[in-house]
A and B are shown apart, each in its own frame.
Chain A
Amino acid sequence: MGITRRQFMRVSAAGLAASTVGALGFGDAGDALAAGVRPFKLERATETRNACPYCAVSCGVLIYSLGDRSKNARSEVIHVEGDPDHPVNRGTLCPRGAAVLDFVRSPNRLKYPMHRKAGSDKFERVSWDFAMDRIARLMKDDRDKNFVAKNRDGVTVNRWVSTGFFGTSSQSNEAGYLTYKLARATGILGLENQARI
């Protein structure tokens, strides 16, 4: 069997004796190394690309986390920094973006829909289905009540100005397209999202 500098190789203690290292006279190096690393545990970590959630500049961020995402073990975000390879921010972040880790870990962070019933003084967790139905119901009621088909001069305007729509600053093209279509189709004028820029 030949040995090569170009092919993929897998490192092992057993391979050492038959290697260039072994041939130079360090035949026992592999076993020594294996014994040396035995007490250590390998830790799994990830660096994930994402976009900063704060403003419409959408700076690229690298999110460092520890832990095995493929198993049931909990992984933990440990650090967030600007993505040096991102063409928009080239690794930089503004003070808000640089503090985005606190946003991730904030005890006040909203992780599921919450609902405050009329007359109640506290929010309660609700299901997504409930939240969607409720929002749709309220939007429909409001639109039925306030939709303006024609203005004073009888010109068709089809507008609905009593409701506004706020998308996110980090939308992709596709999500921006859908947001725009939905809002404009219902007649909403007060629309703000990434696709405006």
Chain B
Amino acid sequence: MVPAGSREALSERSTFPSTGFGEGTLGDVADSEAIRLPDLAVVFSRRAERLSALAPGHELEAFLRLMAALATAQQASLSGLPPGTLPASSEVAAMRRSGRSPLDPVSAGRDATWRAALDRIIETIDRSVLPEPARATVASLAQTPPAVLEAMADRFLSGEVERKDAAAVTFVAAALQVAWTRMAALLDKADLASDAPETGTCPVCASPSVAGIVSPGGTKFGHRHLHCSLCATAWRYVRVRCIHCGSTDKVSFRQFAGASFVRAECCEKCHGYSKVFYLDHAKPVEPFADDLASLGLDMLVGEEGFSRAPNPFVIGMMERSQE
């Protein structure tokens, strides 16, 4: 039995070296956070850095460079956002206690923060890496009236994007990410504690996860955290368990022969899969960036008949599956 208070004393982490996700590499307790909120100071700039590092020589180099420019603009847009609205602390706690997500974009309202973010992104994005159609999209977005933008955001969030919006929705998604990431970062962790069973969707905003990251073993005990595709929150989820249907029965992995830092965790029961990155093998992994850079794996896993929750920047790249 651990004496009262000693766990808190042990988990004092400030003096220990840590990686980008706050995994202590020394002297941590055998208990990683159930929910890890995004760090506004680095969340998008880390993503941009990783995307730029992955781009050279990649088959999708130009696309990754655009994504890096977009993430850089997202980071820039975080400063100078107007004050937004957040549910009250007691409301957040009550929703979590009943297993709901306090910032669910479908049920909760949406303030104008994201449109301010969109303006900033359009203003600051490095146009030199944009191909012609993207440049035209940015230009037309700057002229689009707020009501049309709101309708576009609604369609994206509820999951029915129209083909004609395909290019614009990338920037809308980026702006929504900025708004939701800021809201998530401002929540109080204490309110989010819950005994509700773990879910494959974000406990903060109910969005699907973009990828899972397994921390290094050793002193950190190799937990998996899923990373939210909208608000960048990470939450713990049992390993070797399908994130879509919760089954542990017929879960197996697919990986490129010889490369073990990323695997697709495939469930034979619901034919869904999700990516898992192992920090043991590649320290600088960033879930969003690495998901985009490893789309080749998705292609091969897709050929075996498995489907995934889409990355918000490549929706439609995936054909609607039959299931």
- Check B63–A26 contact: CB distance below 8 A: yes
Cβ contacts B263-296/A at 8 Å (1 or 0 each): 1000000001000000000000000000000011
The yes or no answer to A45 lying at the interface (CB within 8 A) is yes
- Check B316–A20 contact: CB distance below 8 A: yes
Q: Which of A26, A81, A92 has its CB near the most chain B CB atoms (within 10 A)?
A: A26
> Hey, which chain A residues are within 8 Å of B229, CB to CB?
5
- Give residues of chain B (115-152) contacting chain A, Cβ–Cβ below 8 Å: 130-134, 137
Q: Which of A30, A42, A44 has its CB near the most chain B CB atoms (within 10 A)?
A: A42
Could you tell me the distance between the alpha carbons of A8 and B132 in the complex, rounded to whole angstroms? Answer: 30
Give the total of A residues in contact with B, Cβ under 8 Å: 53
Give the total of B residues in contact with A, Cβ under 8 Å: 77
> Hey, which chain B residues are within 8 Å of A11, CB to CB?
295, 298-299, 301-302, 308, 317-318
Could you tell me the distance between the alpha carbons of A8 and B254 in the complex, rounded to whole angstroms? Answer: 18
Given contacts A6-B159, A7-B159, contact A82 B299 (CB under 8 A): no
* Segment at the interface with A among B16-24, B161-169, B180-188, B189-197: B161-169
- Check B307–A21 contact: CB distance below 8 A: no
The yes or no answer to A94 lying at the interface (CB within 8 A) is no
Could you tell me the distance between the alpha carbons of A10 and B271 in the complex, rounded to whole angstroms? Answer: 10
Q: In the complex, how many angstroms separate the beta carbon of B32 from the nearest chain A beta carbon?
A: 8
Could you tell me the distance between the alpha carbons of A28 and B180 in the complex, rounded to whole angstroms? Answer: 32
Q: Which of A35, A47, A62, A69 has its CB near the most chain B CB atoms (within 10 A)?
A: A47
- Check A15–B296 contact: CB distance below 8 A: no
Given contacts A29-B60, A37-B297, contact A91 B222 (CB under 8 A): yes
The yes or no answer to A193 lying at the interface (CB within 8 A) is no
- Give residues of chain B (226-269) contacting chain A, Cβ–Cβ below 8 Å: 229, 238-240, 244, 248, 251-258, 260, 263
- Check A33–B60 contact: CB distance below 8 A: yes
Could you tell me the distance between the alpha carbons of A44 and B253 in the complex, rounded to whole angstroms? Answer: 6
Cβ contacts A45-56/B at 8 Å (1 or 0 each): 111110000000
- Check B314–A19 contact: CB distance below 8 A: yes
- Check B318–A12 contact: CB distance below 8 A: yes
> Hey, which chain B residues are within 8 Å of A118, CB to CB?
none
The yes or no answer to A197 lying at the interface (CB within 8 A) is no
The yes or no answer to A16 lying at the interface (CB within 8 A) is yes
- Check B257–A41 contact: CB distance below 8 A: yes
The yes or no answer to B300 lying at the interface (CB within 8 A) is yes
> Hey, which chain B residues are within 8 Å of A48, CB to CB?
240
List B residues at the A interface (Cβ < 8 Å). 30-31, 59-60, 62-63, 66, 130-134, 137, 156-163, 166-167, 169-170, 173, 207-208, 217, 221-224, 229, 238-240, 244, 248, 251-258, 260, 263, 272, 295-310, 312-321, 323
Sample of 25 A–B contacts (CB below 8 Å)? A3-B161, A4-B159, A5-B159, A5-B207, A6-B208, A9-B319, A10-B319, A11-B299, A11-B308, A11-B318, A13-B299, A15-B317, A18-B316, A20-B317, A24-B131, A25-B132, A29-B59, A41-B257, A42-B256, A44-B252, A45-B263, A46-B252, A48-B240, A62-B239, A84-B224
**Nearest 4 CB-CB pairs, A to B?**
A9-B318, A25-B131, A91-B221, A19-B317
